[in-house]
Amino acid sequence: HVASHKFFNKKETSCIFIAPSIDKETQERFFMHSKKILSEIIKENEVFVSILPLTFLQFQKIYSHCISNNNPEQIWMKILIEFHLLISNSKDLQEWNDNIVKYIGNLK
């Protein structure tokens, strides 16, 4: 559905996948999508999407961090931008996952 949204709206579209836990196969698939190794086909067009997997606890920490600030919307957008940088700067799945965990751990 993320690829469909991106294709039909002609807008860059990202996804946050939130679950109680994230298994390695899911992480690997989302990493490959985010690194543009995997794509989806929509109406014979190749569509690349970025998918950030978060556990409920990770999302809760991010949410709590955002709402504890004066400008939660700005903090949220800053975090999303920084997550995209983590994705593009990570050389492999392990580094990507470690960077996500470290980033969230550093939120106050």
- SS3 call for 71: coil
How many whole angstroms separate alpha carbon 20 and alpha carbon 82?
Answer: 23
How far does CA 66 lie from the centroid of its chain?
Answer: 16
55 contacts 19 by C-beta, under 8 angstroms: yes
Tell me the two tokens of residue 28.
């690997």
pLDDT of residue 108: 78
Q: Give the whole-angstrom CA distance, residue 79 versus residue 77.
A: 5
Confidence of residue 98 (pLDDT cuts 50, 70, 90): very high
Nearest to 18 by CA among 77, 62, 48: 62
Average pLDDT, the chain: 90
What pLDDT is stored for residue 89 in this prediction?
86
Mean pLDDT score, 52-80? 94
- The two tokens of residue 83 are 């997550």
